[in-house]
Amino acid sequence: MKNALVKRVIALASASIMAFSMIGCSATTGSSSSAPAAEAAPAAEAAAPAGEAAPAAEAAAPAAEGLLENGRWNKIIMAANQDPQDLDPDSVNAPVRYNMIYAIYETLFDMADDSSGELKPCIASGYEVVDGATWKVTLRDNVYDWEGNNITANDVAFCFDYIVSTGNAVRFDWYDSIEVVDDYTFLFHWKGEPPAIHDLEFPLSRTIIFSEKAWKDHGESFAKDAVGTGSYKVAEFTPGSKLILEANDDYWGKDILDELEPRHRQNVQTIEFDVVTEASTAVVGLETGKLDICDYVPLAMQEEFATGQYSDKFNVEITVAGDYFYLAPNCLKLDENLRKAIMYAIDNAAVAKAMGGSYVPLKTFGTSYYNDYDASLELDGTYLSDYDLDKAKEFLAASDYDGRELSILIGADEASKAAATMVQTMLLQIGVKSKIDAKTQDGVRTASTSKDGFDIYMNTVGGPNMVGSWHLLFDNEVNSGFTTSWVQDDQLQSLYKAASADATHDAAHMRECLDYVTDHAYFYVVAGTSSALVYPKTITSIGRREGYVTPNCSVYQGQ
Amino acid sequence: MSRYVIKRILMMIVILWCAGFVVFTLTYLTPGDPAMLQLGQEATAEVIAQRRAYLGIDQPYLVQLGRFMVNTFLRFDFGKSWVTNTNTMAELLLRLPRTLIIGLGSMIINVFIGTILGIIAGTHEGKWQDSLVMIIAMVFVSAPDFFVALLLILLFALKLGWLPPYGIETMAGYVLPIISASLGGVAINARQARSAMLEVIRADFVTTARAKGQNEKIVVRKHMLPNAMMPIITGVGGGLSMVVAGTPIIESVFSIPGVGNYLLSGVNQHDYPVIWACVIFFALFSSIAILLTDLCYAFLDPRIKAQYSAGKRKKVK
């Protein structure tokens, strides 16, 4: 506490020297003192010693204040750490925009908000399996966008054609075509019988459905001046700065909100997303009352909201994300003993610590964030929990390692670099030399899909549920017959398929698959991410969709 | 003089063509696949190929280059962003005023305060005023932009509550970014002005003016300052061309949707139409800024003006 005070005083002293020496001669002095916010700050507060200065949040009026007559909370302002850039409905794989874009657009079905992987009706009222590879989908006849265009089967066909024609049809592996039957009925033709619902996640619950007429009326301005069917309309959008959404009073689903997933609720009148890329700036935004919610407060800075001077205004939740860092050894180049030597030599707790305050070590391939996570999936007694240098040396002695330098392929982000540096140091302890090969995202992709592109590969992975995140790891379809770690193993495929198929998706099958993976040292899990979600005490229950905070379905005081 | 201006304008067109060719070729040669980057690691090779065809980057270099040059310089169509599907030049022009406010604001501070500090230091060489200015300049030039920005946010937004920590809803939102962006420039201008003053301070014409009994203030204002202005104007001209390029770090810290952020996102996402539009626009603006700088030289320095006039007379003969 004392250190923090000293740091803050030093920081303020430095700022004062720099700022006042500047402002003393500056022509802009007048403009700064005449700023509207200045009127709210009492002179006595400005003159108070730096360490004792009352927080500006006390002087500033809260951004959201009370319930409106229609039962909605007035306004909530949430920080967004990345710019949504556009509201174009063509990008189905942009998690950064999930809580923004899916408030204004809707999809045929919703994957249940509780991460159970269950399919819930939305624009479509239901489906019927005609045969394994053909589904008959029925649309609701009362779905309208906010310009009054009724959504029909022709609109659905237009949207799918658009996604495919723009080359944005990511994870459409099973999609073949759409056949319109009548205004509110169409057939999905799949390329075969899909083994599990989550294999159809992108066509069914990610592809945005909009009116063909609205699209043609608006032309290219659709990306900024979007027209959707969602429970919120765009009131203002300034790319790089903010997106303001207003509750859609004419929402087609307003009378059946209880039947729809919570994400469609309209508990707030106005939602403002402010783009604040710097976490430290967002923290000041919370402290000054300019922001209400921020879900990327660094763990090191959450204390002042949890127990410090702002604890009377905010709640703090430490959240674990679904995505996690993994290591894939190149199984074509490294024999099983060498892989085990490497994995026993890595202490993932130390690696997570080196990556920074937002990372936590994991003992399984997934996190407690996922609905299908189970404590029985924690891999105790394996290299994920036991850091054992003696064992590592034993495996190394039995391996074919000839002293060559192994390449560690990583993305060029800071966390990956810190993790790779720590792994490199740990490998050196058992006499394995390595070099770090940091590349941009596309460089990583090129190298990782080449058999000679790496010895050890580190990246992040996530999915709709825990077993869904294994698609990029254990499924040999991702790499032309090989897994990401260049394994071609029928037994692994059969165990993975059993764990991921709807009928046999349970902890026992998942555990069997994981045991096989660790027995052969095919993969290693490094760390998961966690951060602090800070939100005002006026929110009694925070709403989420797939881990992303959704202010419109949060519950506010008095609701 | 007018012939000189016309000649420079014609040269500008050639420069823009060259800039277009160079930036297109460099982005073409840059390793990495924009389609792959945009679609993420879950995209299959087939989908990536479809996306490449949609973006037109599956065609040979000369076909792509020809299409780009024709669209840009004959149709004035800078294309749509590959990521946001919006017109790049329209987006750039939308963001430009915010960047200009910060750029010009910080430049005005740089020039005025930097020059004044430089003059004070130069005319008080070796005295405490000189040392103080040089220490201030050293601190300003050494402090990284983002660090200064965060300190200013802590002081003015959190502690004093005078200014917003980010955003541009009101003009008050521009104050901290302008101050943060200007400190380095103040230091550079102060040092440059000091050097320029020291060069002229011992010149014969200054000694003559003093020998004639001129007041020291008049010596500084009428004899030293106009002669010391040339390197300062060169610096201003160079700085002016940088104004439109924006300050990505400052824009990022203060969440300002400016040109710097736009270009940065274009580079990060391999959104080449954004990079092309920005670079060509910067080249155009820089050419105009340098032309204006040269014209200012002529206005301030009779010797340069005489060169233009002499050229004209020679031609008439």
Identify whether residues B231 and B268 lie together within a single domain. Answer: yes
- Residue B83 in domain: no
Q: Which of A223, A242, A288 sits opposite B158 (nearest CB)?
A: A288
Same domain, B6 and B57: yes
* Burial (Cβ within 10 Å: 0-12, 13-18, ≥19) of residue B305: middle
Q: Check if B119 contacts A (Cβ < 8 Å).
A: no
Helix (H), strand (E) at residue A129 = strand A124-131
Q: Please state the three-class secondary structure of chain B as a single string.
A: CHHHHHHHHHHHHHHHHHHHHHHHHHHHHCCCCHHHHHHCCCCCHHHHHHHHHHHCCCCCHHHHHHHHHHHHHHCCCCCECCCCCCEHHHHHHHHHHHHHHHHHHHHHHHHHHHHHHHHHHHHCCCCHHHHHHHHHHHHHHHCCHHHHHHHHHHHHHHHCCCCCCCCCCCHHHHHHHHHHHHHHHHHHHHHHHHHHHHHHHCCHHHHHHHHCCCCHHHHHHHHHHHHHHHHHHHHHHHHHHHHCCCCHHHHHHCCCCCHHHHHHHHHHCCCHHHHHHHHHHHHHHHHHHHHHHHHHHHHHCHHHHHHHHHHHHHHHC
List all residues of chain B from 159 to 218 with a beta carbon under 8 Å from chain A: 159-168, 170-172, 175, 178-179, 182-183, 186
CATH of the domain at A137: 3.90.76.10
User: Which chain A residues contact residue B161 at CB under 8 A?
Assistant: 37-38, 40-41, 45, 56, 59-60, 288
Query: How close is the nearest chain B Cα to the Cα of A283, in Å?
Result: 10
User: Locate tokens 């399996």: which residue?
Assistant: A129
pLDDT of A214 reads 94
Instruction: List Cα–Cα distances, B54 to A262, A441, A531, in angstroms.
Output: 37, 21, 38
Q: Do A239 and B84 touch (CB under 8 A)?
A: yes
CB–CB of A314/B183 below 8 Å?
no
Both structure tokens of A438: 């940091």
Q: Which of B36, B84, B161 sits opposite A85 (nearest CB)?
A: B84
Window 49-108 of B: residues touching A by CB (8 A cutoff) are 50-55, 80-81, 83-87, 91, 95, 105, 108
At residue A474, the pLDDT reads 92
How many whole angstroms separate alpha carbon A419 and alpha carbon A326? 11
Query: Same structural domain for residues A368 and A382?
Result: yes
Query: CA A58 to CA A268: how far, in whole Å?
Result: 24
- Residue at B234 is within a domain: yes
For residue B310, the model assigns a pLDDT of 59
Pair (B142, B209) in one structural domain:
yes
Residues B162 and B13 in one domain: no
Is residue B193 one of the residues assigned to a domain? yes
Does residue A338 sit within a domain?
A: yes
Judgement on whether residues A429 and A364 belong to the same structural domain of the protein: yes
Question: Residue A293 falls within a domain, yes or no?
Answer: yes
Q: Is residue A97 part of a domain?
A: no
Q: Does B41 touch chain A (CB under 8 A)?
A: yes
Question: For residues A44 and B161, what is the distance between their CA atoms, to the nearest angstrom?
Answer: 12
The residue ranking higher by pLDDT, A44 or A362, is A362
Q: What is the pLDDT of residue A201?
A: 86
pLDDT of residue A246: 96
Query: What whole-number distance in Å separates Cα of residue A295 and Cα of residue A532?
Result: 6
CB contact under 8 A, A32 and B150: no
* Number of structural domains chain B divides into: 2
Task: State mean pLDDT over A119-126.
Answer: 93
Which candidate from B87, B161, B182 shows the least CB-CB separation from A60? B161
Task: Answer whether B139 touches A (CB < 8 Å).
Answer: yes
pLDDT (0 to 100) of residue A13: 43
Planar angle of CA A210, A213, A219, nearest 5 degrees: 90
CB-count burial class (<10 Å; 0-12, 13-18, 19+) for B215? exposed
Same domain, A306 and A237: yes
Please report the pLDDT score of residue A119 as a whole number: 86
Nearest to B86 among A41, A220, A238 (CB): A220
Token duo for residue A247: 């509750």
Crossing angle of the two packed helices B2-29 and B302-316, in degrees rounded to 10 = 110
Q: Are B189 and B118 in contact (CB under 8 A)?
A: yes
**In angstroms, what separates the C-alpha of A38 from chain B's closest C-alpha?**
4
Question: Does residue A44 sit in the same domain as residue A140?
Answer: no
Both structure tokens of A485: 């770690």
Which of residues B216 and A125 earns the better pLDDT score?
A: A125
Q: Which of A131-140, A516-525, B60-69, B79-88 has the least mean pLDDT? A: B79-88
The reply to whether B127 falls in a domain is yes
Measured distance CA(A266)–CA(A143) in Å, rounded: 17
Q: Is B281 on the interface with A (CB under 8 A)?
A: no
Alpha-carbon distance of A205 to A468, in angstroms, equals 15
Do residues A126 and A180 both lie within one domain?
A: yes
User: How many CB pairs below 8 Å do chains A and B form together?
Assistant: 226
Nearest to B158 among A38, A220, A284 (CB): A284
More confident residue, B31 or A106: A106
Judging contacts by C-beta atoms under 8 Å, the chain A residues touching residue B33 are 442, 445-446
pLDDT at A41: 33
Decide if pLDDT at A39 tops 90. Answer: no
Residue A225 lies in a domain: no
Q: Which of B107, B142, B160 to mutate to test the interface with A (most CBs of A within 10 A)?
A: B160
Token pair for B157? 């937004």
Among B54, B152, B168, the residue with its CB nearest the CB of A167 is: B54
Let me know if residue B210 belongs to a domain. Answer: yes
The residue among B89, B112, B140, B159 with the most chain A CBs within 10 A of its CB, best to mutate, is B159
Query: B199: which 2 tokens?
Result: 């060069």
Q: Tell me if A93 and B44 make a contact (CB, 8 A cut-off).
A: no
Mean pLDDT, rounded, for A505-520: 94
- Answer yes or no: is B80 within a domain: no
- Same-domain status, B254 and B191: yes
Burial grade of B132 (CB within 10 A; 0-12, 13-18, 19 or more): middle
Closest residue, chain A, to B270 (C-alpha): A442
Residues of B in contact with A46 (CB under 8 A): 160, 162
Tens-place pLDDT, residues A44-65: 333 333 333 333 334 344 444 6
Domain, as residue range, for B268: 88-316
Mean pLDDT of chain A: 84
Write the residue in B47, B163, B171 that is nearest to A167 by C-beta: B47
Q: How far is A47 from chain B (nearest CA, A)?
A: 9
**What is this model's ipTM?**
0.79
pLDDT at A345: 95
In terms of domains, do A406 and A471 share one? yes
> Where is A25: in which H helix or E strand?
none
Look at residue A219 and tell me if it is in a domain.
no
Per-residue pLDDT of B88-119, as tens digits, reads 988 888 898 998 899 889 888 988 899 899 98
Residues A298, A303, A309, A314, Cα dihedral to 10°: 70
CA distances from residue B24 to A369, B54, B64, B65, B314 in whole angstroms, order as listed: 45, 18, 9, 7, 42
Query: Does one domain contain both B136 and B227?
Result: yes
Instruction: State the amino acid at position B5 in one-letter form.
Output: V
| pLDDT more than 70, % of chain A | 86
Beta-bridge partners for A78: A273, A293
How sure is the predictor about A113, in pLDDT bands with cuts at 50, 70 and 90?
A: low
**Span A364-381, pLDDT tens digits:** 999 888 888 889 999 999
| Mutation for B interface: A82, A168, A301, A459, most B CBs within 10 A | A168
pLDDT of residue A51: 34
Alpha-carbon distance A100 to nearest alpha carbon in chain B (angstroms): 15
B249 touches chain A (CB under 8 A): no
| Encoded tokens for A391 | 């064992």
- Domain check: are A432 and A502 in the same one? yes
Residues B254 and B125 in one domain: yes
Q: Any bridge partners for residue A536, and if so which? A: A314
Beta bridge partners of A216: none
**What does the pLDDT look like over A5-17, one tens digit per residue?**
444 444 444 444 4
Q: In this structure, are B127 and B174 located in the same domain?
A: yes
Q: Are residues A158 and A234 in the same domain?
A: no
Structure confidence at residue A115 (pLDDT): 61
> In chain B, which residues have pLDDT < 70?
1, 41, 246, 305, 307-317
Phi and psi, residue A416, nearest 5° = -65, -40
The model's confidence at residue A97, banded by pLDDT at 50, 70 and 90, is low
> A88, B84: Cβ pair inside 8 Å?
yes
Residue recorded with tokens 């058992």: A430
B100 and B193, same domain (yes or no): yes
Residue B293 lies in a domain: yes
**3-class SS at A89?**
coil
Q: Within this chain, do residues B69 and B94 fall inside the same structural domain, yes or no?
A: no
Mutation target among B158, B249, B256 for the A interface, most CBs of A within 10 A: B158
Whether residue A53 is contained in a domain is answered as yes
Bigger pLDDT: A344 or B126? A344
In a shared domain, residues B49 and B126: no
CATH number, domain of B189, equals: 1.10.3720.10
A309-343, pLDDT tens digit by residue?
A: 899 999 999 888 888 999 999 999 999 999 999 99
User: Nearest chain B Cα to A225, which residue?
Assistant: B86
Report the domain count for chain A. 3
Query: By the 8 A CB rule, do A136 and A127 touch?
Result: yes
Give the type of residue at B20: G
B8 domain residue, yes or no: yes
Q: Do A275 and B178 touch (CB under 8 A)?
A: no
**Same domain, yes or no: A390 and A303:** no
Residues A122, A203 within the same domain: yes
Question: Does A558 share its domain with A462?
Answer: no
Looking at the predicted structure, is the pLDDT value of residue A296 above 90? no
Phi-psi region of A356 (alpha: psi -120 to 50; beta: other; left: phi over 0): left
Residue of A nearest to B31 (CA): A443
Q: Is the pLDDT of residue A235 over 60?
A: yes
Question: Residue A39's domain spans which residues?
Answer: 28-92+230-321+531-559
In a domain, A286, yes or no: yes
| The pLDDT value given to residue A168 | 84
The Cα–Cα gap between A509 and A502 comes to 11
Burial class (CB in 10 A: 0-12, 13-18, 19+), A415: buried
B36, B113, B170: residue with CB nearest A36: B170
Domain identity same for B60 and B99: no
Is A312 in the same domain as A327?
no
Evaluate the CA torsion angle A257, A262, A267, A268 in order and state its sign. Answer: negative
